[in-house]
Amino acid sequence: MQDKFSIDCHKCQRLVNFLNEVKVNYPNYHARPVPDFGDISPKLLIIGLAPGMHGANRTGRPFTGDFAGVLLYQTLYKYGFSNHAESMSMNDGLELIGCRITNAVKCLPPGNKPESNEIKNCNGYLSGEIAGFMAGRGVALLALGTVAHRAVLMAVSYTHLRAHETPEHLVCRLLLE
């Protein structure tokens, strides 16, 4: 099932409550669901776990403002996927080229550990992002970590599996079709 993402999503009460607490302690933080970012017709789709406390949760952009983002954006720049090597804020002029970044879970989870129902609640958003990616003839999905990997597999329809395929084979086949 595909859902249309909303920055005002309130599907997960635990995450809503946590973000409300974060907003009290850090009033200048984004502290809301974080949308995907980048080229609307990417060849590369990168899926992370969830917004980081002082990164995307602060800035409102995936992998912006934390160490993982420093490494990611430097690498994207090195290989021609961005117009500069740093992501500092939503207003820094950074553009991704042929690349889009999203998260399996759109809200900051306490302890950076989403619960299974929260991953499932966000999976409709991820499913829509992946469907758009594949319809646009995307070339490669890069899931960063186990939670993101499992969320990608969940987002892809298992009804398309052939008898000899694993979910990983299905993702590769759908990207190549």
Q: What is the pLDDT of residue 118?
A: 96
Q: What is the pLDDT of residue 121?
A: 94
Q: What is the pLDDT of residue 172?
A: 59
Q: What is the pLDDT of residue 68?
A: 87
Count of H helices and E strands in the chain?
6, 4
Give the strand order in the sheet containing 37-38.
Answer: 37-38, 99-103, 44-48, 140-143
Q: What is the pLDDT of residue 159?
A: 46
Residues 156, 130: contact at Cβ < 8 Å? yes
Whole-angstrom CA distances from 71 to 39, 66, 87 are 19, 9, 10
User: Would you give per-residue pLDDT tens digits along the chain (177 residues)?
Assistant: 567 888 999 999 999 999 999 999 999 999 999 999 999 999 999 999 999 999 999 999 999 988 889 999 999 999 999 999 999 999 999 999 999 999 999 999 999 999 999 999 999 999 989 888 888 877 888 999 999 988 998 888 654 555 556 656 655 555 555
The size of the chain, in residues, is 177
What are the start-end ranges of the E strands in 72-147? 99-103, 140-143
